[in-house]
Structure 1
């Protein structure tokens, strides 16, 4: 009976860990506005994203004015995206998109099709563009939204993820707390604490490995979502998705390392206990 209860606690702990890890990552890096901005700011350091953003900025400037020399604007844009001010302003533009999706607080800036957009007005208002735009007598509007998707699914509509913003933090904390609680129950019920440490380490290894496999499996679905965008926006989205994947991989690697560490500690403790008994 005790063995069955211990096994049940271990299984529940493993399942909860499999939910807690991605939930915590999503909350910190996607649902939380500051975390999402930090992720996009990191992506902004990628040369591929910078190149695509420079091209998109050139396109938008050409739309704002007539007789624009795109070659000149392209050089200005390339200089801007390689400057120190670009990552922060790119993150700010993505805050706009985040609020639009998670709070629906800026519906007035949504385009006619209700598509997910980012506002690049702060970028075009940077000092790097000031002289060039002045030469072409272009005044930057208060908002220059550009769509991230051509055919946005229902999940990418204004305010679609407000429940996640409202309850995500508490769900994340609750699942993490339950994971720790059931791990303690498992240790308490186990006849051998050292063997349970090994078992919990295996849980960490299983979750880490399963997470890597899930990301690879889900890449196909992500590509299908990215197919809703094209051109420079597709290139920008690909870099941002890649940055998010790398971040999640780091969390999964921590699970693998901690899991492996618990296995080693459990084995060592078990050997020491056995030596003490035989001695």
Structure 2
């Protein structure tokens, strides 16, 4: 009976760990606005994203200048200015701030929409256009940058997206991630307490972590195909930005899974050593 109970607790621990790792990662890096902003700041260090944002900012500056009666060369002066801006050390923080509106659109629906644009996902670039380095380099152009200047991430046909669509996840995400972690710890302790040999139980828990880490890597490969389909709802330079954001998120989750694999390997080896030492002690 003890063996069956320990086996049951181990299986439940493995399942809970498989929930806890991705749920905690998602809460820390996607559901949390601060975590999402930090992820965006990390992505903004990528040269591909910087080049794409420089192109988008140049397009917006040229349009604003045209509204003010100026004709600017999008591929010349303006493009050089925006490229220098996105390459400077302050750009990642400003890009992160700009992405907060996109997060609020999806997780809270606290962003005001223009008529007919309710089903489009936006990022606010106005703070970037008001940056001192851009204004100083462009000279004394009287560009009237609005308080909010949103650039659509998705095309209108992306009807699957709705403002506040993930509001429920924002509410329950912290509860699910914390609950899964707590329950994982409880059932891991129950596994150790029920098992006749602690060394084998430790090794089995290590195997659980190894299984979860390996399954996570496989799951990412499968999920990436669906993510790529979703990215087809983005257009132009924003598609490049979205690709880099997804790649950054994937690298972050891979890091978590690698830590899980490493912890599982250490725990499995430690469990085997405990079992061997216990066997030697009993044989003496």
Q: TM-score, normalised by structure 2?
A: 0.94
Indicate the RMSD between aligned Cα atoms, in angstroms: 1.4
- 1:110 and 1:226 map into 2 onto residues whose CA distance is 24
- 1:104 and 1:113 map into 2 onto residues whose CA distance is 10
1:269 Cα offset (Å): 0.5
- Alignment partner, residue 160 of structure 1: 165
The aligned length equals 278
- 2:138 and 2:145 map into 1 onto residues whose CA distance is 8
Alignment of 1:186-265 (within 5 A): 186-265=191-270
The question of whether the paired residues in 2 share the 8 Å contact of 1:110 and 1:117 is answered with no
The question of whether the paired residues in 2 share the 8 Å contact of 1:40 and 1:240 is answered with yes
The question of whether the paired residues in 1 share the 8 Å contact of 2:44 and 2:95 is answered with yes
- Kindly provide the CA deviation profile for residues 187-206 of structure 1, in whole angstroms up to 9, marking residues without a partner as x: 11111111010100000000
- Alignment partner, residue 169 of structure 1: 174
- 2:239 and 2:78 map into 1 onto residues whose CA distance is 21
Structure 1 residues without counterparts, runs of 5 or longer: none
- Alignment partner, residue 14 of structure 1: 14
> What secondary structure does 1:92 align onto?
helix
- 1:134 and 1:159 map into 2 onto residues whose CA distance is 40
Out of 73, 86, 93, the position equivalent to 1:69 is 73
Structure 2 residues without counterparts, runs of 5 or longer: none
1:85 Cα offset (Å): 1.5
- Alignment partner, residue 42 of structure 2: 42
Alignment of 1:80-229 (within 5 A): 80-108=85-113, 112-131=117-136, 135-150=140-155, 151-154=157-160, 156-229=161-234
> What secondary structure does 1:118 align onto?
strand
The question of whether the paired residues in 2 share the 8 Å contact of 1:116 and 1:152 is answered with no
Normalized per residue, the structure richer in helix is: 1
1:11 Cα offset (Å): 0.6
The question of whether the paired residues in 2 share the 8 Å contact of 1:68 and 1:136 is answered with no
- 1:270 and 1:109 map into 2 onto residues whose CA distance is 66
1:30 Cα offset (Å): 0.3
- 2:169 and 2:192 map into 1 onto residues whose CA distance is 33
The question of whether the paired residues in 2 share the 8 Å contact of 1:23 and 1:172 is answered with yes
- Alignment partner, residue 275 of structure 1: 280
1:112 Cα offset (Å): 2.0
> What secondary structure does 2:151 align onto?
strand
- Kindly provide the CA deviation profile for residues 232-272 of structure 1, in whole angstroms up to 9, marking residues without a partner as x: 11100000000000000000001100000111100101111
When structure 1 is superposed on structure 2, of 132-141 and 62-71 the one drifting more is 132-141
1:152 Cα offset (Å): 2.9
- Alignment partner, residue 51 of structure 1: 51
- 2:134 and 2:116 map into 1 onto residues whose CA distance is 25
- 1:21 and 1:153 map into 2 onto residues whose CA distance is 31
| Alignment CA distance shift 1:111-1:132 (3 Å) | farther
